[in-house]
Structure 1
Amino acid sequence: MIRELAHIVVKPGAQAGFEAAVHEALALFKRVKGCRHVELHHGIEKPEEYLLVVHWETLEDHVEGFRKSPAFQEWRGMVGGFFAQAPDVVHANVVIE
Structure 2
Amino acid sequence: MILEAVMLHVKKGMGAEYEEAFREASEIISSMTGYVSHELQRCIESEGKYLLLVKWETLEDHTVGFRQSEEYQEWKKQLHKYYDPFPTVEHFEQVHLDEDYSV
What's the TM-score bracket when you normalise by the shorter of the two chains?
over 0.9
AA in 1 matched with 2:58 = T
Structure 2 CA distance, aligned partners of 1:38 and 1:22? Answer: 11
Identity %: 39
Larger radius of gyration: 2
Aligned residues: 97
> Which segments of 5 or more consecutive residues in structure 2 lack a partner in the other structure?
98-103
Residue 42 of structure 1 corresponds to 42
> Which segments of 5 or more consecutive residues in structure 1 lack a partner in the other structure?
none
Q: TM-score, normalised by structure 2?
A: 0.90
Structure 1 CA distance, aligned partners of 2:96 and 2:59? Answer: 19
RMSD: 0.8
Q: Find the residue that maps to 1:37 and give its secondary structure.
A: strand
Residue 9 of structure 1 corresponds to 9
Q: Find the residue that maps to 1:60 and give its secondary structure.
A: helix
Runs of 4+ in 1 over 4 A off after TM superposition: none
Structure 2 CA distance, aligned partners of 1:47 and 1:96? Answer: 32
